[in-house]
Structure 1
């Protein structure tokens, strides 16, 4: 085993969502690791050293296809990091967070080299996806953006919060695709972050309130940094994780583990944060 156990030097990688936050941190780290980094986002990226940057709007299938063709070539890793909070229109949240990201990934699949990795940012909001598998399978059965949006319009009430739905879909899609992709030596994983100290935090504060966000930060006593979320993404797509696929990894300082085992009580934590 060599010193470069992550193995990114000379690898060609694509980072969707590198304008700010976790995606920006991820792209910077990959450049520093010696990767050939091709960035994409609806807004420009401040990251120096990108091999290319392409404007892509995940709401628009034509923009996704054009961005894919503009970057061209093959890839060794995909980092799917773009996302919208609930302050945006519900259909757009579902589209950017899942439908558009899935379409982007599907276009790249034929051009992923053997041993490639795909990682997508989900959320702790998607951790209960296994309890809604019937709904997940119905939603994911829609093959494209247009049909997925139409399904959501017709099923919005029972689908519930669009952000939660989209993140649950990411997790279910990740697990469902893993066995088939492994036949080509391609891995696919997701991460489930707790709240991150990024510009998007103000949107989550507007939706959830300080007490809920404070409760989700309780395990560590603070929000995570973009770098703390970016490095697990890099690990999952690295050579060091060559036998890891179909994993939905909580990156939350132990919060979900505490909730699952009863060590932590979310409602009690919210009550305490409200009182404070």
Structure 2
């Protein structure tokens, strides 16, 4: 797998304790990368370094990135919270803290570096909300973004999950034309349902018919390793002309939805009546 170009590259993986982040970190180690992990729980992987970090706390983020220091060739933003967590915590971890951490890493990056972030097909409505997210993203800095969310929590945030994942997509698209001028690429993925420890939370909060809707047409959930493969490719050397992608990694669900080949009746039943 040397064509991916990770040998001796310094990379950071947030959310490396479990799920997609752990699968990503493990695969990168196997590819010869120098992997620096971040999470709120200790990883048991043989990492070059590990730092505890709380994405709800910008000082914690700053301290962790300062400890890693040096040149960074790739950043994998894999940390996240489900919709069962408090809405403002979800916003902090899934987007506000992630953005702040990326901004701290960017000065350590140079031409040829790359960033990838996990969004979700739960954020697939982002094209219809570009103006709204533009208003949100105009709030630069951790505290300003948090204040906007607090001011609009009853109107837009609600459980936090969908809005945070939409924000990841819109922010990725907005950042790509700016960063590519520095030779830095940025992309995100929209995973379908994936069998990770977090799935228990989705099952607790979501009707089974809805979860089954999102595994069409492939008929099964993804593995963390399948999601890690997409993340690793997007940050790899062969993907050098790929930037600004919000890439579905969902077994064909979005394609089926756009072409009328999946049954969306369970989602239609949940839609508010006009």
Cα contact 2:185–2:244 (8 A) shared by 1: yes
**Structure 1 vs Structure 2 CA RMSD:** 1.4
Q: How far apart, in 2, do the equivalents of 1:142 and 1:125 lie?
A: 23
Cα contact 2:123–2:162 (8 A) shared by 1: yes
Q: How far apart, in 2, do the equivalents of 1:269 and 1:55 lie?
A: 38
How much has 1:267 moved relative to structure 2? Answer: 1.6
Q: How far apart, in 1, do the equivalents of 2:75 and 2:199 lie?
A: 24
Range moving further from structure 2, 172-181 or 142-151: 142-151
Select the residue among 223, 241, 244 that pairs with 2:242: 244
Range moving further from structure 2, 223-232 or 209-218: 209-218
Range moving further from structure 2, 207-216 or 52-61: 207-216
- Pair 1:159-2:156 in alignment: yes
How much has 1:172 moved relative to structure 2? Answer: 0.3
Question: What does residue range 77-226 of structure 1 map to in structure 2 within 5 Å?
Answer: 77-161=74-158, 162-226=160-224
Calculate the TM-score normalised by the size of structure 1.
0.94
Partner of 2:257: 259
Shift >3 Å, 4+ stretches? 268-271
Range moving further from structure 2, 203-212 or 191-200: 203-212
SS in 2 for 1:219: coil
SS in 2 for 1:159: helix
How much has 1:145 moved relative to structure 2? Answer: 2.0
How much has 1:141 moved relative to structure 2? Answer: 1.3
Q: How far apart, in 1, do the equivalents of 2:217 and 2:142 lie?
A: 37
How much has 1:270 moved relative to structure 2? Answer: 8.4
How much has 1:113 moved relative to structure 2? Answer: 2.2
Cα contact 2:115–2:186 (8 A) shared by 1: yes
Per-residue CA distance 1:133-170 (angstroms, 9 max, x = gap): 11101111111222222211211232144111100000
How much has 1:110 moved relative to structure 2? Answer: 1.1
Q: How far apart, in 1, do the equivalents of 2:179 and 2:221 lie?
A: 34
Partner of 2:71: 74
How much has 1:104 moved relative to structure 2? Answer: 0.1
Select the residue among 50, 55, 59 that pairs with 2:56: 59
Q: How far apart, in 1, do the equivalents of 2:266 and 2:106 lie?
A: 44
SS in 2 for 1:75: coil
Partner of 1:274: none
Gaps of 5+ in 1: 272-276
Q: How far apart, in 2, do the equivalents of 1:117 and 1:231 lie?
A: 15
SS in 2 for 1:113: coil
Cα contact 1:218–1:269 (8 A) shared by 2: no
Pairs aligned (count)? 268
Q: How far apart, in 1, do the equivalents of 2:126 and 2:216 lie?
A: 23
Q: How far apart, in 2, do the equivalents of 1:45 and 1:270 lie?
A: 41
SS in 2 for 1:115: coil
Select the residue among 12, 19, 22 that pairs with 2:20: 22
Calculate the TM-score normalised by the size of structure 2.
0.95
Q: How far apart, in 2, do the equivalents of 1:265 and 1:218 lie?
A: 8
